[in-house]
Structure 1
């Protein structure tokens, strides 16, 4: 299968690690990320922001940044919380989760900020 691409992601190389579906794609532009947040809001999902240290990113546990933003429909307010989380935790990765109330599960989850790994090395 010549069309398949091998991603050289290795546990020994933190910069190569993939974190979810979007991490296999080119970095989302601000406009593309905004569309993803708008999608979360349009589905009625509750946004929540989480963060973790780069060395713990493969763990199932990420720290919750405040409580989920129950019923939040203002995309700019969601981005403001993401920025506050990044500022308060500059060395951490940050992800956005959209919780689906009806299915009682995550509707989506994506890393929205990846900390600079070269600064900690």
Structure 2
């Protein structure tokens, strides 16, 4: 199962050159860039680990790509994404987010069904990755 999360998630994985162009666009708009990673790919997991500090006032996309590649080396079995934030209105708003790395194996999700009041059915899902403890999921 291929996780679809972020701006370009329904497209094939971006190449480093395409990633660099997206970062160049973010830099041209004076957006701050951050890199995050996780081993829990649930779409409602908002608590990804931050790689280093957010990159403020970056002028060269190559420096962001360097940090992405460093994160890929250290966290090769994790999902890694890039976020860009626009603070022109005085509020940090995420305006761009996309995956730049996936683990070699994506376990997928389990659909859970439960009974509710009046014979209604409730559905939820969870990642198969969370069956194992954090840090040993892949």
TM-score calculated relative to the size of structure 1:
0.78
Partner residue in 1 for 2:24: 38
Structure 2 unpaired stretches of 5+: 108-136
Partner residue in 2 for 1:28: 14
Decide whether aligned partners of structure 1 residues 118 and 50 sit closer, same or farther in structure 2, where only a CA change above 3 A counts: closer
2:63 to 65, 74, 77: 77
Partner residue in 2 for 1:18: 4
Q: Which moved more, 1:81-90 or 1:15-24?
A: 15-24
Instruction: Flag the structure with higher helix content.
Output: 1
TM-score calculated relative to the size of structure 2:
0.69
Distance 2:85 2:56 in 1: 9
Structure 1 unpaired stretches of 5+: 1-14
Instruction: Flag the structure with higher strand content.
Output: 2
Q: Aligned-pair RMSD on alpha carbons?
A: 1.9
Larger Rg computed on CA atoms: 2
